[in-house]
A = this chain, B = another copy of it.
Amino acid sequence: MNLKEILNSLLPKIETHLQDFINAQDFNHSQMLKEMLTYQMGWEEEGSKGKRIRPSLVLLTAKALGGEIQKTMPAALSVEFLHNFTLIHDDIEDQSLYRHNRPTLWQRWGIAQAINAGDALFSIAQLAMLDLENTCGSSIAVKALNDLNQTCFHLTRGQSMDIAYETDQSVSPSAYLEMISGKTGALLGLSAGLGGLTSGQNDPTIDFLFEFGKSLGMAFQIKDDILGIWGDPGKTGKSASSDLQSRKKTLPILYGLEQSQNFRNMWEMKDLSKTQIQQMAEILEDCGAKIAAHQEAKSYTLQAFAALENLFPSSSDRNDEAAALFELTDELLKREV
């Protein structure tokens, strides 16, 4: 089975278990809370769900290492609930109006109910993880919860920096990398790590898995940053140079602000024309910002593959799921930039 076939078999299982877990909770007089969580998870209408990348990664990793779906499932559910909790709160914090082509939760129910619904989903993520006690024992459950909450704390550190950066002129590229390691890397690292923990791996192996997931997330985010300036609008679905237009402080832009006085001057200007935005992209390329971002992305990509190679050194010994992990990494990172 290749990646696509494996995911086709895993995704319906994940979805059923996610729904069963929510349905098993006692919402009592708070049916509105259940309605909000159902909406956020994308069960209200077709086509409004996320891709479930994180729980897929948990289960793929576990099976690649010889683990069992049934033992690992609580961890897979937990990371997906956790991810959705962060989406609810991030959408309020960023004042995002739409997600998956629908109004965000706070747009529909108001900020107060949305903050609280996020908190409920955070508790539910913890309760889901606690079910590991039944499948893997209490010692593994405690380790998993520790990893989960260290990751959450890391996420909130990244998010705090991200919010501050909106008004903060001087952000160094290294602080930016620390920020995205919290916002994007940490949860993918946790997902891969939990696959190892719940399939009975030792600490060095689990550390490699964290490293793999984190590097994968970092490389993916930086590629996204590059595509946000130089991506082909026909492929990315965004307008050309969209991050320059929206004044998003992504990695290439931070390099530019650090390296080029010309770029800094234009960054200060208001109401730029299309030609001027195009000119900014060229200045960025000329001052080496594009190459520097590429190098950074490449370095994380190599780290992700190195960690995978270390975990599965011989290609002939890899089972279908291990091969699929290489395929997934390749697919997430191969996008042309």
Contacts and interface: CB of A to CB of B under 8 A. Distances in A.
Interface string A51-80: 000000000000000000000000000000
Q: How many copies are assembled?
A: 2
Interface stretch (A38-46, A120-128, A225-233, A297-305): A120-128
Interface in A15-56: 25, 27-30, 32-33
A157 B89 contact: no
Interface string A76-103: 0000000000000100111000000000
Interface string A126-143: 110010010000110110
Given A142-B130, A149-B123, A33 B157 contact: yes
A280 to B, nearest CB: 27
Interface in A145-187: 145-146, 148-150, 152-153, 155-161, 163-164, 175, 178-179
A111 interface: yes
| Interface residue SS majority, chain A | helix
A112 interface: yes
A153 B123 contact: yes
A243 interface: no
A319 interface: no
Contacts of A141: 138, 142
A78 to B, nearest CB: 11
A145 B92 CA distance: 28
B30 A117 contact: no
A32 B160 contact: yes
Interface of A: 25, 27-30, 32-33, 89, 92-94, 110-113, 115-120, 122-124, 126-127, 130, 133, 138-139, 141-142, 145-146, 148-150, 152-153, 155-161, 163-164, 175, 178-179
Given A120-B157, A138-B141, 10 more contacts: A93-B115, A112-B163, A115-B115, A119-B122, A120-B160, A123-B150, A123-B152, A127-B153, A130-B142, A138-B138
